[in-house]
Amino acid sequence: MKKIINSLRPTERLIFLVFSVLFVLSSLYLLDTLNKKYSVERPVQGGSYTEGVVGFARFINPVLAYTDADRDMVALLYSGLLIPSTDGELTGNIAESWEMSDDGLEYTFNIKDDLTFHDGTPLTTDDIEFTIEKMRDPLIKSPKIDIWNGVKVEKISITQIKFILQKPYAPFLENLTFGILPLHLWKDIDAQIFDVHSLNREPVGSGPFMIKKTFKDSEGIYQHYDLAPFKSYALGQAYIKNFRVKFYKNEQEAFDAYKDGSIDALGGVTADLAESIKNDNKTFIESPLPRIFALFFNQNKSTVLLNREVRQALNVSANRVDIINDVLSGWGTPESGPVPFALSSEDGMTSNSDQLQQSESLIEEGRQILIAKGWKIGEDGVFEKEITSGKSKSIQKLSFSISTSDVPELKRSAEMLKETWTKLGADVTLEIFEPSDLTQRVIRPREYQALLFGNIIGRDLDLYPFWHSSERNDPGLNISLYTNIKADKALETLRSTSDEAKIIEARKIFQTEVQNDIPAVFLFSPNYIYATNGNVKNIKLSKMTSVSERFSNVHQWYTETERVWKMFAEQTQQN
């Protein structure tokens, strides 16, 4: 080849060189095309990631976790029998299988073989039983103590455990996502020092990540944790090699770190902060939270609210979309019923959004409802109606007060409702309280005519605490003091049956009764906003009931990939 090239004239040599380069380039292009056509990209172990968290974790312990920072770390370091999947359903974590008895009273779980904690110690049903004992211990004061009242725990073997209930409780499986403590490390720790032990700050669990290194400031406060994948995690080894969790004193400090690139992601960003950098090439993942904010009527404290047409007019004229756009900068979901739309779309119930028609005619529609029932606009611009009681007559004014917390979103929502309903022809007074005062002076004694507040609904859709008539008085959560026999029976059915057909029918009955009675004006659910840099793939937020559930599939997040020919990828999957 060298002799041939040397024998060529300069022009021939140039032509040869050009064609040689074209041949190499076309070959490379062809190979690249074939590679892309017959190969797939798949995640591989590697990469680094930093998650920002507002607040500092004190109790990285599934028995004691109180704050979001606590629960975030528990989700990363511990594992339970069950875990929420990315579609919102509960699936096995350390549990291999489980079955429920026909009467709904017994749940038998089989756990996977060869499970271990981060230190290599085997994980067995002894650890599960021990963790539940600690949650039950009144001296430890676990926030989960109530969920185990009346539940008998029976260890059958080191891999099988049974839970026996006194009466059927369909949402019971939700209680089995708790992280499991290692008995061998905690068994000799007295309840009196349980909450101050160092294992609360440097725990050993069996979750997707394990602690590699910790960083404390001069005062001994943990500033961040460096985590490494746990190779023996029940759902498979995590892809991200270096996972750091960094704590910040407040949201603004954490948000500034996200903006300047010090952290890769920050969860629970408020709408106003997200809106401030919406156009700065930042990546936001949002998901509706099952938290319904509504105006709850207390008809015992306001006679005008006893009139169904009044409640109907107020409900019809409330402009939910305007409230979401103003208060949440659009980062929210309109609601018109007691079941969050994020959790209501699969059981045949009417979608909340189907009934939400926003237009300038809403206020007029509300007026016509009142006029049709004999209400008239008085000289002061407020609707009034003549009421006859025996031989006496009186004038009832459409006048009532709204009580709410001095929280910006709630306060502004109340102001917007007042503006709307003033145009409708109502006299509305706002009463704003500090959060603690609202709870103690207003909510607990039920001293309000209308209350703007929020309900946090779990994935199990257990609405009993919020709407059953037995929950009307403190400490019950039925803040509308709602009473309806059909609704009560439906709620009781939902708690006692696991029959899917009966569940769907009971929810329909309940939702229909509430929508007919109008005990509240349902407004919106705020969206959970997860700010990321876009470099981490496969983050899936769906039907979360708590913010720590964003880590449900954290072991499947990845930053590094490789291309593999399809036939090899298929063989790997089969193996």
- Note whether 306 and 235 are same-domain residues: no
- Note whether 203 and 347 are same-domain residues: no
Q: Is the pLDDT of residue 527 over 80?
A: yes
Q: What is the pLDDT of residue 423?
A: 95
Q: What is the pLDDT of residue 319?
A: 92
- Counting residues of the chain whose pLDDT is more than 90, the rounded percentage is 72
Q: Is the pLDDT of residue 575 over 50?
A: no
Q: Quote the CA–CA distance of 552 and 74 in Å, as a whole number.
A: 11
Query: Is 418 within 8 Å of 428 (Cβ atoms)?
Result: yes
Q: Is the pLDDT of residue 393 over 90?
A: no
Q: What is the pLDDT of residue 344?
A: 58
β-sheet bridge partners, residue 242? 48
C-beta contacts of 20-25 below 8 A and 24+ residues apart: none
Q: Which residues contact 136 (CB under 8 A, 6 or more apart)?
A: 142, 145, 148
Q: Quote the CA–CA distance of 227 and 148 in Å, as a whole number.
A: 32
Q: What is the pLDDT of residue 568?
A: 55
- Note whether 478 and 537 are same-domain residues: no
Q: Give the mean pLDDT of 521-533.
A: 93
Q: Is residue 14 part of a domain?
A: no
Q: What is the pLDDT of residue 352?
A: 44
Query: Is 63 within 8 Å of 131 (Cβ atoms)?
Result: yes
Query: Is 303 within 8 Å of 398 (Cβ atoms)?
Result: no
Helix (H) or strand (E) holding 33: helix 10-38
Q: Is the pLDDT of residue 349 over 70?
A: no
The domain spanning residue 473 has which CATH number?
3.10.105.10
Q: Is the pLDDT of residue 384 over 80?
A: yes
Q: Is the pLDDT of residue 353 over 50?
A: no
Q: Give the pTM.
A: 0.83
- Note whether 56 and 130 are same-domain residues: yes
For the chain, how many structural domains are there in total? Answer: 2
Query: Is 442 within 8 Å of 453 (Cβ atoms)?
Result: no
- Higher pLDDT: 88 or 257? It is 257
- Note whether 414 and 486 are same-domain residues: yes
β-sheet bridge partners, residue 455? 292
Q: Is the pLDDT of residue 358 over 60?
A: no
Q: Give the mean pLDDT of 61-66.
A: 96
- Note whether 82 and 216 are same-domain residues: yes
CB atoms inside a 10 Å sphere around CB 222: 19
Of 527, 542, 566, the one marking the end of a domain is 527
Q: Is the pLDDT of residue 114 over 80?
A: yes
**Can you tell me whether residue 240 is helix, strand or coil?**
strand
Q: Where are the alpha helices (DSSP H) in 99-211?
A: 125-136, 183-186
Tokens of 22: 């074209």
Q: Give the mean pLDDT of 532-550.
A: 89
Q: Is residue 168 part of a domain?
A: yes
Q: Which residues contact 539 (CB under 8 A, 6 or more apart)?
A: 285, 530, 532, 550, 553, 557
Question: What is the extent of the structural domain holding 447?
Answer: 291-527
Q: Quote the CA–CA distance of 143 and 135 in Å, as a whole number.
A: 8
Window from 86-90, 140-144, 287-291, 569-573 with minimum mean pLDDT: 569-573
Q: Is residue 6 part of a domain?
A: no
Q: Is residue 270 part of a domain?
A: no
Q: What is the pLDDT of residue 355?
A: 41
Query: Is 188 within 8 Å of 194 (Cβ atoms)?
Result: no
Q: Is residue 35 part of a domain?
A: no
How many angstroms separate the first and last alpha carbons of the chain? 48
- Note whether 440 and 551 are same-domain residues: no
Q: Give the mean pLDDT of 456-460.
A: 80
Q: Is residue 275 part of a domain?
A: no
| 186: nearest Cα among 174, 200, 173 | 200
- Note whether 351 and 427 are same-domain residues: yes
Q: Is residue 11 part of a domain?
A: no
Q: What is the pLDDT of residue 55?
A: 94
Question: Checking DSSP bridges between strand 520-532 and strand 332-334, what pairing results, if any?
Answer: antiparallel
- Note whether 445 and 497 are same-domain residues: yes
Helix (H) or strand (E) holding 7: helix 2-7
- Note whether 305 and 368 are same-domain residues: yes
| 551: nearest Cα among 81, 86, 44 | 86
Q: Is the pLDDT of residue 342 over 60?
A: no
Which tens digits make up the pLDDT trace of 183-229? 999 999 999 999 999 999 999 999 999 999 999 999 999 999 999 99
- Note whether 255 and 318 are same-domain residues: no
Packed helices 362-372 and 408-424: angle between N→C axes, nearest 10 degrees: 60
Which tens digits make up the pLDDT trace of 146-167? 899 889 999 999 999 999 999 9
The domain spanning residue 51 has which CATH number?
3.40.190.10
Q: Quote the CA–CA distance of 548 and 537 in Å, as a whole number.
A: 18
- Note whether 481 and 363 are same-domain residues: yes
Q: Is residue 419 part of a domain?
A: yes
Q: How many helices and strands in the chain, by DSSP H and E?
A: 17, 23
Of 527, 544, 559, the one marking the end of a domain is 527
529 DSSP assignment:
E
